Amino acid sequence: MILVLAYGAVLLSFASGLLALLMNQRQAALEFSQFINEKFPGGNQCCRALLANCLEEKKFPDRLRKAVFVLLGLSGVFATLAGLSVLLSQQVVTDQLGLGLPWLPWHVRFDCLSGFFFLIIGIAVSAVSLYGPGYVNSYNDSQHPFAVLGLFTGLFVAGMLLVLLADDAFFFMIAWELMSVASYFLVAFQHENSANRRAAFIYLLMAEVGALAIILGFGVLASFSNGFTFDALREAHLSSTWASIAFMLALLGFGMKAGIVPVHVWLPEAHPVAPSHISALMSGVMLKVALYGLIRFCFDLLGDVQWQWGVVLLILGTVSALGGILYAMMQANLKRLLAYSSVENIGIIFMVLGLSMIFMANGHPKLAALGLLAALLHAFNHALFKNLLFLGAGILHHQTHQLNIDMMGGLIKKMPKTSVLFLIGCMSISSLPLFNGFVSEWLAFQTALQVDVLDNGVLRSLIPVAAAALALTAALAAACFVKVYGMIFLGQSRSHYCDKAHEIQDKGMLAGSALLAALCFVFGVFPGLIISLINNVAGQLLGETLPNEGALGWLWLAPVSSAQASYAPPLVLIGALLAAGICFWFLRRNPSTVMRRAETWDCGYGGLTPKMQYSCSAFTMPFRRIFSKVWIIDEQIKKDMQGAMNQDVAAVHYHLEVSDHTWPLLYQPIERAVNLTAATVGRIQTGNIRTYLGYSFATLILMLWVIS
């Protein structure tokens, strides 16, 4: 039954993509109808009118779009049910499909780890299926055909689900490539813009380089085993050196897809140009599939982890978390900011995974289980609030035609429902209590605080530094999203698009966002609901569950012991409600303190204007001064002078450009080397047919010599 649900989720996502192709068939039929009308004007008028009426009926494309998203939503529901079923039953279900190579059919395995990520995908896809019909209506079908968008969305979701089901290296890579190639077409969907084509090319290039690294990692394991199935790879006996080589290859491949620094540059390029609901799936879900691959490879296939691997993950995660949020703070494009924020959150997950490896290698499996739980919980939480924020960004773009934060403002009065949902997302990602982001980061800190059980002096010094960096990251994230929410929803509007903005009328777009916002709050107040499920993942994967398991209930959370640290979010909620009630009663009781509405104080300047408000660069100026070495900053102030002696200032132009150190230090040298190599190799293209025949003859002689 569990596999039926899992297969059903995959097949429904495939079906949604295939159904979208009917839009192309309708277009072909319309063109055929026009051809008949032009070539045979004396034909049966009644038949031609009936055909045109059927094909040009506006309800047909609307209903077809809704049907596509209904199938996609059913896929999400099936994936959610399949994930919950295997997590609750703690079963390991296997199967074989008669596909693949003649000697290697596709092997399927569905266990708690797969089920947990099925749950993440299922919830996200369900929300997107509610959101999608209203969002895609804004696209012109002749310029951006829904057939393309719907087809590759279905293939993208199916590819992610198949990656989680794969139990052999060949099947895994087929599914991985399906996911990568389908998402490439989604990134390039609005291909008329050169920036979109460039972002899609960078994404595809890095995806294929990462895939090559993963194949080499599987190849290392396969060379010490008797096959390509995961069962065979688990039996491989590798030396410490070869195991480390396989780990580094897997880290490069999966880390590149996850967006870890320094191989993160595709992420802030690709996510802003994709449709918003696709950006939500890529940032909130696809990055987690890469995380799944790394956990499966290291904790399951390699098995005996080494503490040095944990140190590598800890350092990379710390740099990614701190660097990601610092780069996010400097962004004025909302979706680009959210993309860099994903780098930060992936860094946090890698940090805690590194702690889990360190504790496991040093003989503390229960603390390793705590680290794994904190990492998986943050992956789950990030999927919820990052999907919510990207869907909210899509609503803002839909209503204001803007993604530039400096051009927004004052939208809380014009879009009150969206403002509440976006506020929940901002509070969740800022790790504020009563929301889900706080719980996972609190567990990450609790994991790091157990450093005193280690004997290694280097680790006892390194882990507190990483924990301090995590605390700084959390503070910077709060400041970043104070900027985001304040500049978008508060103050006065900065453009005529925002002046004319109003609340979105499509209920589905609000419903998809509201579902995610509700889950952010529910799992923030009752984290034990999801923690108990993740505990089953740790038990099946590591053979250990959380320490002090009895203290992990719906009311009280004590990951190590109640004497050391505990957190009771329901009690915090009750206390907050009581405090709010008392304050409200006191304010209403005293007439002199009753809340009143008045014009904003203009400080005596005679009326506020939008130009008096903070811009993104002004808000982040103190951080830019403190962390100036983190970015490449190009800041220029130009003055237009006038008057007889050019002493009067007519206008002042301010230019600020903040760029990533990774491009000139890592990627531009590679780009120059590739271009130089291509130019050198290109010299063989002479345009002379005699030369090409000579190449063919030389190749033939060489092949005959090699074969013989």
The helix/strand/coil state of 107 is strand
As a whole number, the mean pLDDT across the chain is 85
Q: Compute the distance between CA of residue 491 and CA of residue 469 in angstroms, rounded to an integer.
A: 33
pLDDT for position 549: 46
The helix/strand/coil state of 655 is strand
Cβ atoms of 464 and 355 within 8 Å: the answer is no
How many helices (H) and strands (E) the chain has is answered by 29, 4
Q: Is residue 521 domain-shared with residue 634, that is, in the same domain?
A: no
Domain total for the chain?
Answer: 2
Quick: pLDDT tens for 285-326.
Answer: 999 999 999 999 999 898 788 999 999 999 999 999 999 999
Q: Is residue 506 domain-shared with residue 401, that is, in the same domain?
A: yes
51-55, 202-206, 466-470: segment of lowest average pLDDT = 51-55
Top pLDDT among 35 and 612 is at 612
pLDDT(616) > 50: yes
pLDDT band at 592 (very low <50, low <70, confident <90, very high): low
pLDDT(160) > 60: yes
How far, in Å, are 198, 291, 338 from residue 376 at the CA level?
A: 33, 9, 20
Q: Compute the distance between CA of residue 545 and CA of residue 559 in angstroms, rounded to an integer.
A: 11
100-104, 189-193, 241-245, 289-293: segment of lowest average pLDDT = 100-104
Q: Is residue 643 domain-shared with residue 548, that is, in the same domain?
A: no
pLDDT for position 136: 85
pLDDT band at 550 (very low <50, low <70, confident <90, very high): very low
The amino acid occupying position 226 is N
Q: Compute the distance between CA of residue 177 and CA of residue 190 in angstroms, rounded to an integer.
A: 22
pLDDT(557) > 50: yes
Top pLDDT among 648 and 25 is at 648
Closest CA to 237 of 304, 308, 310, 306: 304
DSSP-assigned letter for residue 245:
H
pLDDT for position 54: 45
pLDDT band at 252 (very low <50, low <70, confident <90, very high): very high
Please state the pTM of the whole predicted model.
0.89
Residue 92 covered by a domain: no
Distance of CA 112 to the CA centre of its chain: 22
pLDDT band at 62 (very low <50, low <70, confident <90, very high): confident
Q: Is residue 634 domain-shared with residue 559, that is, in the same domain?
A: no
Rg (CA), the chain: 28
Q: Among 54-63, 446-455, 515-524, name the most confident range.
A: 515-524
pLDDT for position 194: 82
Of 511, 528, 563, which marks where a domain is finished?
563
* CB neighbour list of residue 530: distance below 8 Å, 6 or more residues apart: 377, 380, 523
Q: Is residue 458 domain-shared with residue 315, that is, in the same domain?
A: yes
Distance of CA 565 to the CA centre of its chain: 31
Residue 184 covered by a domain: no
Closest CA to 301 of 365, 376, 250, 359: 250
User: Omega of the bond prior to 559 within 30 degrees of 0, cis?
Assistant: no
164-178, 188-202, 350-364, 577-591: segment of lowest average pLDDT = 577-591
Token duo for residue 293 = 């691959």
pLDDT for position 30: 52
Q: Is residue 453 domain-shared with residue 535, that is, in the same domain?
A: yes
Quick: pLDDT tens for 187-230.
Answer: 988 888 888 888 888 888 888 889 999 999 999 999 988 888 89
The amino acid occupying position 583 is C
Top pLDDT among 487 and 679 is at 487
Top pLDDT among 56 and 141 is at 141
Residue 499 covered by a domain: yes
Q: Is residue 487 domain-shared with residue 384, that is, in the same domain?
A: yes
pLDDT for position 547: 58
pLDDT(168) > 60: yes
Q: Is residue 546 domain-shared with residue 695, that is, in the same domain?
A: no
Quick: pLDDT tens for 578-589.
Answer: 988 888 777 776
Q: Is residue 424 domain-shared with residue 558, that is, in the same domain?
A: yes
> Averaged over 88-95, what is the pLDDT?
90
Of 514, 530, 563, which marks where a domain is finished?
563
Residue 572 covered by a domain: no
- How many angstroms separate the most distant Cα atoms in the chain? 102
Of 508, 528, 563, which marks where a domain is finished?
563
Domain that holds residue 651: 629-708
Quick: pLDDT tens for 263-283.
Answer: 888 888 888 888 999 999 999
Percent of the chain with pLDDT over 90: 42
How far, in Å, are 132, 540, 638, 644, 653 from residue 641 at the CA level?
A: 51, 72, 10, 10, 11
> Averaged over 514-527, what is the pLDDT?
93
For the stretch 381-400, what's the b/e string if a residue is b when 16 or more beta carbons lie within 10 angstroms of its beta carbon? bbbbbbbbbbbbbbbbbbbb
Top pLDDT among 167 and 44 is at 167
> Averaged over 125-151, what is the pLDDT?
84
Q: Is residue 646 domain-shared with residue 542, that is, in the same domain?
A: no
pLDDT for position 34: 56
Residue 320 covered by a domain: yes
Residue 146 covered by a domain: no
Token duo for residue 310 = 């944990």
Q: Is residue 537 domain-shared with residue 406, that is, in the same domain?
A: yes
Residue 292 covered by a domain: no
Q: Is residue 382 domain-shared with residue 507, that is, in the same domain?
A: yes
Residue 107 covered by a domain: no
pLDDT for position 598: 72
**Nearest 5 degrees, angle CA 128-CA 132-CA 137?**
170
